[in-house]
Structure 1
């Protein structure tokens, strides 16, 4: 029997591009000697995406539809898609067509060579501002400098995962998820395929600068304790500076007498020390908040509907067959 390839597509208000996405996926995978499953994960869309996906599913029995109970965010939607994917290999791709589906055969060829993770590495990113390109570049460099696990530069979620890689990710149920870091953390043989990223085919990006900033904090705090170490060093350096400043004033008083204390310098020192304390408390708070979130042991997501593709019963592997939640 031919191997099964699952394609996981997270969807959040992508109605304008869904038909084009489906058509290009079908065309790109048509030459593969594999059975196919397209797993669309609706992450609480409100623009009619679910109805469009339902219509697509009525035309193509290879389409599976996972409906989450609300918007949980892309990282959780990806996890839900991987939980429900039944393939021997699983492709992850966004619905906006910035990542070209035509590369899927190349991903499959690398998988057949023995790689468990084949990830797309962006050689260029068309349609994005200079500021976004620069901040993205800086983030990957900073992330690698801080992270305990090397994370490939200029990569996204566009990749292929083998069945054992999907199984390994399925065992990582942390609530604050940075998927790019998790892909690297599981190990296994990995290979990069460079490509040129295209502009969005339609619609608008959901990632404004505020969301990107929060996403960057999520990645750094998920895979590095360097900010906590920085707070420790900053506190030590500040304490040393304060001690040396006190010694300086002591000797100046002994030699020159007791001068009238300077109001501006006092205010500056107080504000500086207060700012350092608040910065360190903020860093500790970020980690404490994540620990609090993990301690509640809530399910990652809930589904309000799961409509599987028409697959052979033998193709279940570790996929969720009929679940309302997944811890």
Structure 2
């Protein structure tokens, strides 16, 4: 069985999807290293770079590179839709029998492609690259990341491997399973776990950035964490029921005690300051609870509108597939040539 899988995989086409946003300084080296690593595998391949609304010269560099690299395809999104939408766009257009997802900043080493493909050749549907070193992230970011994944794994039915990012290989049927999931609020790491299938992990040490800085600041990481929790568990809603019960019971007992003291013992209970404090406290708790409910309701509202996840403004290379507007995104018509305009 293993020999059969290896034989099939050796003749299969490999797609690499690399989303990028303002990575003009890293793109030349990325394409050079990717080409060398993929050619060493001795199999047909394509590289799909998704330009997620870059404002630097990324698209110009990709346009020049595509002239001499027939394996390069480029999707230019109409604006910055975010990494999750960019990954979805790449998956929607990948034609390979296996698809590798990796960042466009070279922190995901292309040299690991061989290990990912070997695991896939042995029957894995999903090969996940696990980071063994987070020293470059800083203490606060490392602690926040670990806390987030521990909370998410404790609250949801899906298990997301610790220190697993988007760097992974997906078989064609794993890609098809992810594409069949219709939600607009996409937390890709959760969707990978939701699909299931046979999973294998491969350890790696991330490279240092060659140039530029990370496009994932604290604000984007916070939004991603909220997306992950709200998309894959309803535990926060249940927690507020328990919080309400835990606050209501002592408050009711305290009110009963005050009534008994006043009616039986005639003891007046002054304290407008303490009363105002309690009102403000409970009002704050209620507003936080409403915020949690609003987060979930907002997602229901977004899903019902069924807007496309992304809009593609330009393409380069042999982009054969057209995205399904009812599921993922849409592609704008090609720009008219100067002759057509006149």
Range of TM-score over shorter length: over 0.9
8 Å CA contact retained: 1:302, 1:324: no
- The equivalences for 1:1-327 within 5 A come to 2-309=11-318, 321-323=321-323, 325=325, 326-327=328-329
Rounded Cα–Cα distance in structure 2 between residues aligned with 1:219 and 1:323: 25
Rounded Cα–Cα distance in structure 2 between residues aligned with 1:79 and 1:323: 10
8 Å CA contact retained: 2:93, 2:322: no
**CA RMSD, Structure 1 to Structure 2 (Å):** 1.6
SS in 2 for 1:197: coil
Q: Which residue of 1 aligns with 2:340?
A: none
Displacement after TM superposition at 1:251 (Å)? 2.4
Off by >3 Å, runs of 4+ in structure 1: 322-327
SS in 1 for 2:211: coil
In the superposition, the TM-score normalised over structure 1's length comes to 0.93
SS in 2 for 1:16: coil
1:45–1:286: structure 2 CA closer, same or farther, 3 Å change rule? same
Displacement after TM superposition at 1:323 (Å)? 4.9
SS in 2 for 1:44: coil
> C-alpha offsets along residues 153-178 of structure 1, whole Å, 9 cap, x if unaligned?
11100000000001111111311110
8 Å CA contact retained: 2:93, 2:323: no
Displacement after TM superposition at 1:214 (Å)? 1.1
> C-alpha offsets along residues 206-238 of structure 1, whole Å, 9 cap, x if unaligned?
111121111100000000001100111111222
Rounded Cα–Cα distance in structure 2 between residues aligned with 1:323 and 1:189: 27
Displacement after TM superposition at 1:42 (Å)? 0.9
Displacement after TM superposition at 1:34 (Å)? 1.1
8 Å CA contact retained: 1:88, 1:162: yes
8 Å CA contact retained: 1:69, 1:303: yes
> C-alpha offsets along residues 294-319 of structure 1, whole Å, 9 cap, x if unaligned?
0101111111122334xxxxxxxxx8
5+ residue gaps in structure 2? Answer: 1-9, 330-342
> C-alpha offsets along residues 113-151 of structure 1, whole Å, 9 cap, x if unaligned?
100000111111242211111111111111111112111
Displacement after TM superposition at 1:256 (Å)? 3.1
Displacement after TM superposition at 1:69 (Å)? 1.5
8 Å CA contact retained: 1:126, 1:197: no
> C-alpha offsets along residues 191-218 of structure 1, whole Å, 9 cap, x if unaligned?
1111112222211111111211111000
Displacement after TM superposition at 1:324 (Å)? 8.8
Displacement after TM superposition at 1:282 (Å)? 0.4
8 Å CA contact retained: 1:12, 1:43: yes
Rounded Cα–Cα distance in structure 1 between residues aligned with 2:11 and 2:200: 24
